[in-house]
Amino acid sequence: MSQLEIGRLLRADTSGFVVGCRAAQSMSPSFGSLVNVPQEGNYAIYGLVHDIRIDDDGLVRQLATAEGVEDSVIADNRINRNVPLEISVIAVGYRKGERIYHLLPPRPALSLDEIYLCEPEEVRLFTGSGSFGYFRHILRQEELPTGELLAAHIRQANQAHEAVEKGIWAKAAIREIITLLRDDHQTLMQVLGALGDALYE
């Protein structure tokens, strides 16, 4: 379904993976996007982008401080980097055959597997299936910027859903978040604050 390749897998564990990509590819996924890693046997792992990291190398450091560097040199260094951009993804579910599960994948993807950005239709299918079970993977990761990630994800996913039916999905998603977080006032208020900024500008 999804055809926009964004990179290849660098390392993975059950709860997430890191993708390496070229600078040109890095422009397509954004924070909170849903991506998938097709595997053999009509099996695919889904994840949410939660971090995009651009590391430096020795040459970049030199160029950053050098004077009179030509534009072509800078452009060359940006595009043909020695160190790839790293996109960190949190695993949120998988698809086996036509069925979507909001569970952690049974086994992680392998190195150098290709990673694709999900099209709106696939986003709608994944997020609309079941009852938001994948939220718990996001909320479990304490080091994640939960509020921002949920806000970005819900905003993007809502756009995919709005095309089909207006306002219903986001409302249900927010209700689920409140239910999951109602005993944690601080986190809930952070998430709702971010959601307020993202959805109701």
Partner 1 sequence: MKENLRVRLVIPAQQVQEGGFVVIESGDWQFYGLVIDLQLGATDPRFADEQSESRLPPELAQQLHGQTLFTNLEVLPALMLERGPEPGTEAYQRWSEEIDAGMRERPRTLPVKTVPPHHASVRQAGPGDIAEIFGDPEKDGNFVIGYTREQGHPMCLDLDKFIQRSSGVFGATGTGKSFLTRILLAGMMHLNRASVLVFDMHNEYGFDDTASDTGQRVIGLRTKFQARVRVVGLGSGANIRGNTPDYNLEIAEGDIMPEDIEMLTRELNLKETTPTTLEALVNSFGRSGWFNAFSRMRNGAMVEIEEEGKKKRIPAPDSVAAWANENGVNVMAAEGLHSKMTRVFDRTYVQTQPAADSIQEIIKSLEAGQHVILSFGKHESDLDYLLVSNLLTRRIRQAWEQRTNEFRSRGEGEPRPLVIVVEEAHKLLNREMATQTAFSTIAREMRKYYVTLLIIDQRPSQIYDEVMSQLGTRISGWLGDEDDIHAVLSGLAGREALRGMLARLQPKEEVLMVGWGVPMPLPVRSRRYDERVWQELLGKKSEVRRKETEILGDLGF
Query: What length does the chain have?
Result: 201
Binding region for partner 1 (CB under 8 A) out of 14-22, 29-37, 157-165, 175-183: 175-183
Give the max Cα distance, the chain.
Answer: 57
Residue 196 within binding range of partner 1, rule CB under 8 A: yes
Residue 189 within binding range of partner 1, rule CB under 8 A: yes
CB of 175 to partner 1, least distance (A): 6
* Residue closer to partner 1 (CB basis): 61 or 166: 166
Between CA 11 and CA 105 the distance in angstroms is 15
The residue with tokens 């695919």 is 44
Contact 90, 47 (CB under 8 A): yes
* Residue closer to partner 1 (CB basis): 23 or 188: 188
* Residue closer to partner 1 (CB basis): 104 or 157: 157
Between CA 18 and CA 9 the distance in angstroms is 6
Q: What is the DSSP string of 64-118?
A: HH-SS--HHHHHHHHHS-SS-EEEEEEEEEEEETTEEE-S--SSPPPTT-EEEEP
Binding region for partner 1 (CB under 8 A) out of 20-28, 79-87, 111-119, 173-181: 173-181
Binding region for partner 1 (CB under 8 A) out of 30-38, 39-47, 70-78, 192-200: 192-200
Contacts with partner 1 by CB under 8 A lie at 171, 174-175, 178-179, 182-183, 185, 188-189, 192-193, 195-196, 199-200
